[in-house]
Amino acid sequence: MVIIMKKLNLISLAVVVALAGCSDNDKNTPEPAVPVIDPVPVPIESLTVKNTLAVGSEQCINGGIETLTGDDSNQNGELDADEVTTTTVVCNDAETSLNPQQLAPLTTNTWYKEAHTKLASSQDNIANIVKESGKAKNVILFVGDGMGISTVTAARILAGQLQGKMGEEHQLSFETLPFSGFAKTYNVDAQTPDSAGTMTAMASGVKTDVGVIGIDEAVVNGNCLSGKGHELVTSLELAEIAGKSTGLISTARITHATPAATYAKAANRNWEDISDMPESEAANCEDIASQLVNFEKNLEARFAGIDVDGLEVVMGGGRRHFLPKDAAYNSADAVSSVEGDRTDGRDLTAEWQAQYPNGQYVMDQAGFNAIDVTNTKHIFGLFNESHMQYEADRGNDIAGEPSLSEMTAKALDVLDNNEKGFFLTVEAGRIDHAHHAGNAYNALSDTIELSKAVQVALDKTSIEDTLIIVTADHSHVFTIAGYPKRGNPILGKVVAVGETEPTLAADNMPYTTVGYANGGGFRDLGEETDAEVGYDFAPVTGRVDLTDVDTQSPGFHQEALVPLSSETHAGEDVGVYAIGPGAHLVTGTNEQSFIFHVMDYAADLVKQADAKVTK
C-alpha cells in the first residue's frame, strides 16, 4: 500500500503592534495597551491514499490502483475509513504476456514441466508418424482379456509401488504409446459382451453375437449349418495369404474364444474339441482344435490359387483338446488321470508334427528354451492341460512354462526371419480369469506381465515399419473406490488423507480400495497364488470384518456387492493404445470392429491378400 499525503504549508501570523512614538520629554505618558488578538484556527488537511490492487482482485482482475480521498477531521495525520469521501479505481489493461516472475509458480513446478515435455514429444509424434497406408511391414495386436480401464489404472499403481514409488505417477509400457482411444465392446445381441464376439470384431472387422467365433450375426448360436456362407476372413488369415509369417500366443487355452477368433469359425465358442459338440453338429462342422491344426489346409481350400505355409508360431495352453481321451497319451505334467478329451481318437499334436516335420512341438520350459529361433520354421507349444498358470503361480507348474513376455520374445525372433513381415496376436488371457474369480492380485499381476511383453515388442521392432496395438476385448465389474491417500497400497484397506488407520464404513468395519460389484466375494487364502482355488467355496453374502486380514496377500479375494458363483464382465468402453504406421487413426471412441480396419490400412492386408487369390 502506498500512502500519499497532500501537506499544506501553514504560515504563522505575526502580530503587528503599532508602538506609539515616545519622546524623552514625555516620559510620563503611559504606553498604549497591546491589543488582544483571537487565535487563528488550524486548517484541516485534505489527505489522499493510493492502494495497489493485486492481479486477480475482485475490483480489477488485472490489478490496478485504488485512490481514496478525504479530510483529516481528527487531525491524526491518517485517513480513517469514516473520513473517506471519494474512492476511485483505475484498472490496468489486460496483460498480453506474463513476465518470468509471474510465470515462476508454473514453470518451476514439476507437474508443469513434465506436461510441457510431454506436449513437445506429442507434437513430434504427430509430425513423425507414418500416415500413408500400407507402410506397416509388421503388425502386433496385444489383447488383455478383461483388461478394463480400472484394471489398467490399478495395475499401473501396483507396478509403481512394487518399484518403490507412490504408484499413481507410474506408467505401464503401453500407456506411453503416443496414440490412444476407446472401443465400444457390445455384441450385436448383447449390451455386456463376451470374448467370442468382441475378438471376432477386432480380428475380422465385423461385430457378431455372443458366443460366436468368426461368423457374422446371421448364424444361430449352436447351429453349425446356419453359419455356412457367413464365415468371416480374419486379419491373421489375410496376412497368411499375403505371404507374411503369422503367430498366435495366449496364456489361456489356445482354443479359447479370444485366440480362436483369429483362425476358427464356430457357431458356439465351447466347441473346443469334438467331445464338446453334439453329434449332429460334429457331423457338419470341424471343432476348434482341429481347425487350428488344419489351418493351412482349410485356408487353401477356401481361397482358390493360394499357397500358404501355415501358422509359424502357436503357443499357449489347452493340450487336452488336442489329445485322445486315453491315458496312454498323457503328457509328463498331466494333472488329470486322463489328460485328453478327444473322443475321435485323434492325436492332433502328432498330426501337426507330420505336417511340419521340421517344426518343433514343445510342452515345457526346457523344450521352449531349446528352440533354435534361427533355423526353426514352425513352433507348436502347448504348455498346460488347460489354461497356462497365472504369472504369480507360474513357478508351481509341474514341468515349467514360459512367461508371456518370454513367449513374445521367442515368437518375434522366429517371425522376423520373413522379409515380407509378420502378423502376431498376443493374448494375456488370465487377467479375465482372475477377475472372474474375484482375485485382483492375479488380475493385476498378469496385466503387469502383459506390459512387460509389450515392452519386449517395442524393444525388438521399429516404429518405422511395425504397428503395435494394445487393447482389451471387454472389461470387468472391478472398481477403485473410497478416498485413500496418495501412495496407499492399491490392494490395501482405504486410509484417508492425513490418517494412519483404515477408514471405517457405516458398519464400523474397514474396506478395501479395490472390489467387485458382483462375484464370489471374500476369500482369505493367504499366500495361495492360484485364483481358481476360490471356486472351492460358496459365494459370501454380506460384509466381512477385514480388521485382521492381510488384503495385500496373493490369496485375498475382494468383497463383492452381489453374490454370484463367478464375477461377470462389464459393458463400458476399453482403451486402445497404438504406435507405428497408421497409429494416428487410433483416436476418439469407435466400434471395436474399427481396430481391424486400422490394421488393414496400415499393412494393406486385404489388398495384398486379394492379389494372391485367383479370380
Please say if 195 is a catalytic residue. Answer: yes
Grid coordinates of 113: 514441466
Residue 114 sits at φ, ψ, to 5 deg, of: -65, -40
List, in order, residues 6 or more apart from 378 with CB less than 8 Å away. 310, 311, 312, 313, 356, 358, 359, 360
Cβ neighbours of 101 (radius 10 Å)? 7
Phi-psi region of 335 (alpha: psi -120 to 50; beta: other; left: phi over 0): alpha
> Within 13 Å of residue 363, how many CA atoms lie on the same side as its CB?
16
Set of cell numbers at residue 310: 501355415
CA distance 249 to 534: 27
DSSP character at residue 555: T
- Copy the grid coordinates of residue 371: 528352440
CB atoms within 10 A of CB 265: 25
CA dist 250 and 236 (Å) reads 15
CA distance 47 to 70: 6
What are the C-alpha distances in Å from 429 to residues 1, 349, 450, 473?
A: 68, 22, 10, 10
The 8 Å CB, 24+ separation contacts for 29-37 are none
E strand or H helix that includes residue 314: strand 313-317
- Among 150, 195, 331, 593, the one annotated catalytic: 195
Kindly state the DSSP code that residue 119 receives in the 8-state scheme. Answer: H
Phi, psi of 484 (to 5 degrees): -70, 150
Do 503 and 483 form a contact (C-beta atoms < 8 A)? Answer: yes
Residue 542 backbone class (left: φ over 0; alpha: ψ -120 to 50; beta: rest): left
Nearest to 258 by CA among 174, 202, 208, 312: 202
Q: Cell numbers at residue 361, please?
A: 512341438
Q: How far is Cα 217 from Cα 215, in angstroms, rounded to an integer?
A: 7
C-alpha–C-alpha distance, residues 559 and 534, integer Å: 12
CB 285 within 8 A of CB 263: no
DSSP state letters, 343-368? SS---HHHHHHHH-TTSEEE-SHHHH
**Cβ(586)–Cβ(181) below 8 Å:** yes
Residue 126: which H helix or E strand, with range? helix 110-128
Gap between the Cα atoms of 144 and 426, Å rounded: 9
**Distance separating alpha carbons of residues 137 and 2, to the nearest angstrom:** 71
Write out the catalytic residue numbers: 195
